[in-house]
Amino acid sequence: MKLARIESRIKSKQVIGYLDGDKLWLTQHSSLLQVPENFQPDRTANSLEWTALLDGVDRDYKLLAPINPPEVWAFGFTYERGPQFAASPVIPSGPAYTAAINANRPEIFFKTTGFRVVGPNDGIGIRGDSTYTAVEPELCIILNKDMKPVFFTVGNDVSAWDIEARNPLYLAQCKTYEACCSLGPLAVTIDELPLNAEINCWVKRDEKILFHGSIKQSLMRWSFDELSNFAAEYNPLPEGTVLMIGTAIIRPDANGLLDGDICEITIDGIGTLVNRGRLLISPVPVSGFD
């Protein structure tokens, strides 16, 4: 089952749609988690053209992130890392990082709430005080009320890595700020996800490809159940929590995302999440770093 969340441009009403071919059938549900496992849409009801929604050109509806999550948690050091990580001059490194890469538990951090989550075609945030904002293509898990994986989506764990590289204690400032997380376009059940799904990421400027990276999901060190369990140890998670399960694709140069750059992330079985870099304006004066 492949579901999307859309919003009427006129009434601001949100509704879940069921994707079948190029048609998105409107349902009576306003949240993914209300949709029963064996759901079949009413094919006499309204349907919309999926490509128009994906391209942001449907006149009546806008495609949103598939869920407005109460919490988003993120993982680090979950994949076997390729040589591009060692090559990158801006990736934080040192004994704490080496230990985490070799440890038998992943890094887990609180990423954000739905307040800072954007959807397909929206701007992803670039802090004005960051010299290296990275896009992090990540498979994401959506949990049900029993903290079990029920849906999967594509995510971008946008990160101001130069800030964490100054000091690992600045992790929250590297990871959490306006529009730091993008999700979408679809939420899919596990049967839609190929066993060895490939994740691809492109960064483009003026239609030129600046970067392309890809990774196979088989390089992940833990199962989805193990990851959900790590996140929920001594930590009850509300229904609809999103887990971003880490990245293995990173640009092996020191060039970060700039205002207007386009980032496309594709995961087999789910689809392509497209966003544009957006230079943020701080709501308060900025003091900068020493």
Residue 71 interaction partner, one of ligand DO4, Mg ion, none, beta carbon < 5-8 Å per kind: none
Scanning the structure block, which residue is given the tokens 């048609």? 23
Instruction: Kindly give the pairing relationship between strand 271-279 and strand 123-126.
Output: parallel
Tell me which residue has tokens 């996800």: 193
- The answer to whether residues 28 and 44 touch, using CB atoms and an 8 Å cutoff, is no
Residues shown for the chain: 290
Of all helices (H) and strands (E), which one includes residue 64? strand 61-64
Residue 164 in contact with Mg ion, rule: CB under 5 A: no
What totals of helices (H) and strands (E) does the chain contain, helices first? 6, 19
The site that binds ligand DO4 (CB under 6 A) totals a number of residues, namely 10
| Smallest distance, ligand DO4 to C-beta of residue 276, A | 21
Q: Which does 250 bind (CB under 5 to 8 A by kind): Mg ion, ligand DO4, none?
A: none
Contact 200, 265 (CB under 8 A): yes
Q: Is 183 helix (H, G, I), strand (E, B) or coil?
A: strand
Q: Confirm or reject binding of residue 122 to ligand DO4 (CB under 6 A).
A: no
Give the N- to C-terminal CA distance of the chain in Å, as an integer: 51
Q: Least distance to ligand DO4 from the beta carbon of 69, Å?
A: 17
Supply the minimum distance, in Å, between the C-beta of residue 94 and Mg ion.
18
Q: Of residues 18, 77, 151, 211, which one binds ligand DO4 by CB under 6 A?
A: 77
Using DSSP, state whether 170 is helix, strand or coil: helix
227 membership: H or E segment, kind and range? helix 224-232
Cross-strand pairs, 154 = 139, 184
CA-atom Rg of the chain in angstroms: 19
Report in angstroms how near the CB of residue 247 gets to ligand DO4 at its nearest.
4
- The answer to whether residue 118 forms part of the interface with ligand DO4 (CB under 6 A) is no
Residue nearest to ligand DO4 (CB): 76
**Partner whose binding site includes residue 77, from Mg ion, ligand DO4, none (CB under 5 to 8 Å by kind):** ligand DO4
**Cβ closest to ligand DO4, residue 17 vs residue 246:** 246
Pick from ligand DO4, Mg ion, none: which does 279 bind, CB < 5 to 8 A by kind? none
Q: Which of 58, 71, 122, 157 binds Mg ion (CB under 5 A)?
A: 157
Element (H, E) at 208: strand 208-216
Binding ligand DO4 by CB under 6 A: which of 155, 246, 271, 277? 246
Q: Where does this chain bind ligand DO4 (CB under 6 A)?
A: 74, 76-77, 107, 136, 157, 164, 171, 246-247
Q: Where does this chain bind Mg ion (CB under 5 A)?
A: 136, 157, 247
